[in-house]
Amino acid sequence: MPRCSVALLVNFVPPYRVALFRALEREVRRLTVLVSTEMEADRPWQAETAGLDIRRIRSFALPYRRHHPDGFSEALTIHFSWDLLPRLASLGPDVVISSEFGLRSLQAGFYRWLAPLFGRRTRLLVWATVSEQTERGRGGLRMGLRRLIARMADGAVTNGASGARYLESIGFVPKRIFQIHQSTDLERFDALPPAAPGPDGTIRLVSVGSLIPRKGLMPFLERLAAWCRAHPERRLHWRLVGDGPERAKLEAAELPANLEIELAGNRDYGAVPDLLTDRDLFVFPTLADEWGLVVNEAMAAGLPVFGSHLAQAAEEMIAEGENGWLFDPTDGDGTDAALTLALGTDAPARAAMSEAARKTARLFSHENTLRRMTAAIDGVWDR
């Protein structure tokens, strides 16, 4: 790829992106990361970003609540920046990669249009972390803005096939849509030993993420409790790592004697591998996720994944019965049938699935993500 300069525009730098950004920095002439905030309030993370050229733009945050057509809502934040155009003019990047479809990407589009007036050649990639499910029910004004940004941009990066279909529906040319899966640092999980069998045949489940309605935890707990009542001879233990407004409901839930839940609370990002090592299955019952990096992490740790098909990571990574099981969290009977299949899998079969999960995770490495990202940059720069 050409040794071009890149400006990367994001809300903040999460810890799981740091290794990728460092690798990208080595591939381009210059990488400058412009952030709206050091970290959003609902993200209990600290990212070790020393050495990266990260600069904070002037902006203010506007909280709002989004209501999804499937009945859940969530608190989100819009970041409005007012000095992005002069920052970009000062940097003069060859390629701008702007996350999401807000005013940040709109300003990046204006810069891309204005750059030739100053004798500069700039290309714009929109980093669209979207899926068809996450974007259902968006309003007309927002859709109009997205179609405008699609006309301004030279291409878009998205996580998977569902995201690509969505981008095509709002006006992106298919050959300018680059599918780049999310990835995690696999070395963090390499040393984890296989899980020893649980006491008394207990099957140990784990989930990692915010305890919010979108994650589908309460509806899934109701199905899981019903399954346990119908199978009193089986014992389950479900560890939930994370915190959020659904915690009180989870604590108050009436559970059968053969189902125990453990609310582990928020933990440092670096502690995630140790919280997976004594588990048998990873559970991801989300109602909408544009990817779901926890699926990568679970498979890297050797855990078969019981995952909602409403997350792109589950759709793209799970091979039914080989490294996990897909289910529809909005279909109660279907969820029950999938639970019976997954929880009826014996320990030797789960051990084979564990190795298959690790092999799948290795296909979604930072190296593969970097290769696709540099190809996307190259694709728009040569346009």
Q: At residue 41, what is the residue type? A: A
Confidence (pLDDT) at 45: 66
More confident residue, 76 or 154: 154
According to DSSP, the residues that pair with 324 across neighbouring strands are: 305, 320
Average pLDDT (342-366) is 94
What pLDDT is stored for residue 81 in this prediction? 86
Predicted local distance difference test score (pLDDT) of residue 44:
65
Whether 195 and 280 have beta carbons less than 8 Å apart is answered as yes
Question: Which residues contact residue 218 at a Cβ distance below 8 angstroms, ignoring those fewer than 6 apart?
Answer: 246, 249, 250, 253
SS3 241: strand
- Tens digit of pLDDT for each residue in 127-150? 999 999 999 999 899 999 999 999
Tokens of 209: 């993420």
Is the pLDDT assigned to residue 172 strictly greater than 70? Answer: yes
In sign, the C-alpha dihedral spanning 128, 302, 367, 191 is positive
Average model confidence (pLDDT) for the chain?
Answer: 93
| Backbone torsions φ then ψ of 297, nearest 5 degrees | -65, -40
Sheet with strand 305-308: strands edge to edge? 259-265, 236-241, 203-208, 281-284, 305-308, 324-327
The whole-angstrom separation of Cα 255 and Cα 378 is 54
Domains of the chain, first to last: 5-183+365-381 (3.40.50.2000), 187-363 (3.40.50.2000)
Residues 87 and 93: beta-carbon distance below 8 Å: no
Inter-residue contact 292 to 314 (CB < 8 Å): yes
The torsion region of residue 186 among left (phi > 0), alpha (psi -120 to 50) and beta comes to alpha
Top-confidence residue, 199 or 26? 26
φ, ψ for residue 305 (rounded to 5)? -115, 130
- Residue 28, pLDDT > 90, answer yes
The answer to whether 205 and 304 are in contact (CB under 8 A) is: no
Rounded CA gap, 276 and 259, in Å? 19
The token pair at 133 is 């499910």
Q: Mind listing the pLDDT tens digit for each residue in 254-275?
A: 999 999 999 999 998 888 898 9
Region of 360 on the Ramachandran plot (φ > 0 left; ψ -120 to 50 alpha; else beta) = alpha
Mean pLDDT of the 202-212 span: 96
The answer to whether the beta carbons of residues 168 and 147 sit under 8 Å apart is no
Q: How confident is the model at residue 3 (pLDDT cuts 50, 70, 90)?
A: confident
Question: Alpha-carbon distance 73 to 78, whole Å?
Answer: 16
Q: pLDDT digit string (tens) for 312-333?
A: 999 999 999 999 999 999 999 9
Q: What is the pLDDT confidence band of residue 118, given thresholds at 50, 70 and 90?
A: confident
How many Cβ atoms from other residues are within 10 Å of residue 38's Cβ?
12
Residue with tokens 């600290």: 46
Strands (E), the chain: 5-10, 30-35, 54-56, 59-67, 73-81, 95-99, 123-128, 155-158, 177-179, 203-208, 236-241, 259-265, 281-284, 305-308, 324-327
- The Cα–Cα gap between 23 and 366 comes to 8
pLDDT of amino acid 238: 98
Whether 309 and 320 have beta carbons less than 8 Å apart is answered as no
For residues 233 and 205, give the distance between their C-alpha atoms in angstroms, rounded to a whole number.
17
Geometric angle at alpha carbon 334, from 330 and 336, rounded to 5°:
105
pLDDT computed for residue 270 by the predictor: 84
Chain centroid to Cα 275, Å, comes to: 19
Res. 37: pLDDT tops 90: no
Q: Are strands 177-179 and 305-308 parallel, antiparallel or unpaired?
A: unpaired
pLDDT score of 2 more than 60 = no
Q: Coil, strand, or helix at residue 347?
A: helix
